[in-house]
C-alpha cells in the first residue's frame, strides 16, 4: 500500500565521507535497503515509508531543525557547532539527540607546536587559534576565561602554525597521526564526538511519528546487539559465584547441569558490555573452561 509523499519520513545522511558507509550499514542492519544511485540526492527505502536525503554532513543539523528532514545521522562535533553558530542555546534548538551510534568516534582538540612549550588552555591568552569550529572553540575559550583570536579555516587546519597563520589549532583528531606528522601536541579536548541519531523535536504527524519510532526502536536494537555478546563456559559448580562477579554487564547467568557429573556445570549469560581477552583470562583463573563468546544477531527488549 502506498504512503502519501508527505507522510514519508525523511532521514538526512552524509552522501560521502567518514559517516556515509557506517550510516548505510546501520540502516541495512535495521533491515532497510537504500537504493543508492550515483548523484541522487534522494533515495527511497522500500521496507518502510522512509526517504533518505544524501547531503554534506554540515547541512544535516539545520535540515533537521528546519523540518526539511525529520531524522539525521551526524557527528556530535558538527551538531554542537551548528547549534552554537545558530545562536540558539541548547534547549531551544528544536533538535534532540536520540542516541549515540558508536561509530566515527573522534574528538575536537586544541593542539600547539611541540616546540612552543605551551601545555595548557590558560596559556593561550592572546594567541591566534585556527579552526573550522569557531563557535565551539569560542564557547570553550569563554568557559575557560581565555581571550584568544579565532582564525577560521575550512581545511588543512594542521598547517596553520607552520604557515604562521596561527599559534595553535582546534581540529578533529582521531588517531593523532596528523598531529604527530605536523609536530603538534594536544593540550585540551573540547568535544568528545561520535555519530548521533538526531530528531526534530516537534511537528511530526502521527504517521511519521510512528515510522520514526519504529526506526528508532530498530536502531536501538542494532546498537544494543552490537555491544552484546552471548557467553558460554563450563566450570565447577563451586565457581559459579566467582564467575558471575566477573561477567561484564550480565544479569544472573543461566546455570545448567552437565551430563554425568554433579560437580561440573555449564554457565550461559548475555553480556551487555564488551568481553575483552582480560575478562576471559579472569574467568579462566576462577575456574571456567571452554569459554565461547558469540555475537547476537538481533535483540528487542
| Closer to ligand PRT by Cβ: residue 22 or 270 | 22
Nearer to ligand PRT, 18 or 33 (CB): 18
Q: Is 171 in the site for Zn ion (CB under 5 A)?
A: no
d(Cα 229, Cα 12) in Å, to the nearest integer?
Answer: 31
Among 21, 46, 58, 142, binds ligand PRT (CB under 6 A): 58
CB neighbours of residue 192 within 10 Å: 12
Picked from ligand PRT, Zn ion, none, the partner binding residue 175 (CB below 5 to 8 A depending on kind) is ligand PRT
Given 104, 109, 182, 225, the residue binding ligand PRT (CB under 6 A): 104
Query: Which of these, 108, 160, 167, lies nearest to 133 by C-alpha position?
Result: 108
User: Should residue 80 be labelled a site residue for Zn ion when binding is judged by CB under 5 A?
Assistant: no
- Residue 6 binds which entry of Zn ion, ligand PRT, none, CB below 5-8 Å type-dependent: none
Distance CA 25, CA 35 (A): 13
From 73, 118, 171, 211, residue interacting with ligand PRT (rule: CB under 6 A): 171
- Alpha carbon distance, N-terminus to C-terminus of the chain: 29
Taking alpha carbons only, the member of 146, 158, 151 closest to residue 113 is 158
Contact status: 58 vs Zn ion (CB under 5 A): yes
Q: What is the DSSP string of the chain?
A: ----GGGSEEEEEESSSTTHHHHHHHHHHTT--B---TT-SEEEETTTTEEEEEE-GGGHHHHHHHTS-SEEEEEHHHHHHHHHHTT--GGGSSEEEEEE-S-S-EEEEEEEEGGG---SGGGGTT-EEEES-HHHHHHHHHHTT---EEEE-SS-GGGTTTTTS-SEEEEEESSSHHHHHTTEEEEEEEEEE-EEEEEESS---HHHHHHHHHHHHHHHHHHHHHH-EEEEEEEEGGGHHHHHHHSTTB-SPEEEEETTEEEEEEEEEEESS---HHHHHHHHHTT-EEEEEEE------
From the list Zn ion, ligand PRT, none, pick the one residue 227 interacts with, judged by a Cβ distance below 5 to 8 Å according to partner type.
Answer: none
# residues near ligand PRT by CB under 6 A? 21
Choices 39-47, 54-62, 156-164, 291-299 (CB under 5 A): range interacting with Zn ion: 54-62
172 binds ligand PRT (CB under 6 A): yes
* Shortest distance in whole angstroms from residue 58 CB to ligand PRT: 5
Taking CB under 6 A as the rule, does residue 177 contact ligand PRT?
yes
- List the x/- string, 246-265, binding to ligand PRT by CB under 6 A: --------------------
Return the number of the residue (59 or 228) whose C-beta is nearest Zn ion: 59
Exactly one of 32, 57, 65, 215 binds ligand PRT (CB under 6 A); that residue is: 57
Nearest to 144 by CA among 119, 167, 123: 123
What minimum distance in Å lies between the beta carbon of 118 and ligand PRT? Answer: 20
Instruction: Return the one option of Zn ion, ligand PRT, none that residue 174 interacts with (CB less than 5 to 8 A, by type).
Output: ligand PRT
Is the CB of 57 or the CB of 167 nearer to Zn ion?
57
Check residue 78 for interaction with ligand PRT (CB under 6 A). Answer: yes
Is 54 an interacting residue with respect to ligand PRT (CB under 6 A)?
Answer: no
Q: Which of 57, 70, 158, 171 binds Zn ion (CB under 5 A)?
A: 57
> For binding to ligand PRT (CB under 6 A), which residues are involved?
14, 17-19, 56-58, 75, 77-78, 104, 106, 171-178, 193
Amino acid at each position: 500500500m502506498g504512503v502519501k509523499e508527505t507522510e514519508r519520513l525523511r532521514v538526512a545522511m552524509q552522501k560521502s565521507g567518514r559517516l556515509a558507509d557506517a550510516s548505510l550499514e546501520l540502516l541495512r542492519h535495521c533491515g532497510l535497503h537504500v537504493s543508492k544511485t550515483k548523484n541522487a540526492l534522494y533515495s527511497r527505502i522500500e521496507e518502510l515509508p522512509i526517504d533518505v536525503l544524501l547531503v554534506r554532513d554540515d547541512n544535516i543539523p539545520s535540515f533537521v531543525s528546519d523540518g526539511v528532514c525529520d531524522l539525521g545521522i551526524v557527528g556530535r562535533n558538527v551538531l554542537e557547532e551548528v547549534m552554537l553558530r545558530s545562536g540558539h542555546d541548547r534547549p531551544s534548538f528544536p533538535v534532540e539527540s536520540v542516541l549515540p551510534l558508536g561509530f566515527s568516534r573522534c574528538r575536537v582538540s586544541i593542539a600547539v607546536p611541540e616546540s612552543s612549550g605551551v601545555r595548557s588552555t590558560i596559556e593561550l591568552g592572546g594567541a591566534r587559534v585556527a579552526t573550522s569550529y569557531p563557535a565551539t572553540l569560542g564557547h570553550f575559550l569563554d568557559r575557560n576565561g581565555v581571550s584568544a583570536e579565532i582564525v577560521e579555516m575550512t581545511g588543512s587546519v594542521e598547517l596553520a602554525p607552520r604557515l604562521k597563520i596561527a599559534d595553535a589549532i582546534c581540529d578533529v583528531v582521531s588517531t593523532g597521526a596528523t598531529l604527530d606528522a605536523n609536530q603538534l601536541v594536544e593540550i585540551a579536548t573540547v568535544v568528545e564526538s561520535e555519530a548521533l541519531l538526531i530528531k526534530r523535536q516537534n511537528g511530526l504527524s502521527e504517521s511519521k511519528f510512528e515510522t520514526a519510532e519504529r526506526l528508532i526502536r530498530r536502531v536501538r536494537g542494532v546498537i544494543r546487539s552490537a555491544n552484546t555478546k552471548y557467553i558460554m563456559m563450563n566450570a565447577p559448580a563451586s565457581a559459579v559465584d566467582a564467575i558471575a562477579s566477573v561477567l561484564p554487564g550480565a544479569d544472573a547467568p543461566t546455570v545448567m547441569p552437565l551430563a554425568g557429573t554433579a560437580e561440573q556445570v555449564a554457565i550461559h549469560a548475555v553480556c551487555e558490555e564488551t568481553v575483552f581477552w582480560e575478562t576471559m583470562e579472569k574467568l579462566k583463573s576462577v575456574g571456567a573452561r571452554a569459554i565461547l563468546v558469540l555475537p547476537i544477531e538481533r535483540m528487542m527488549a
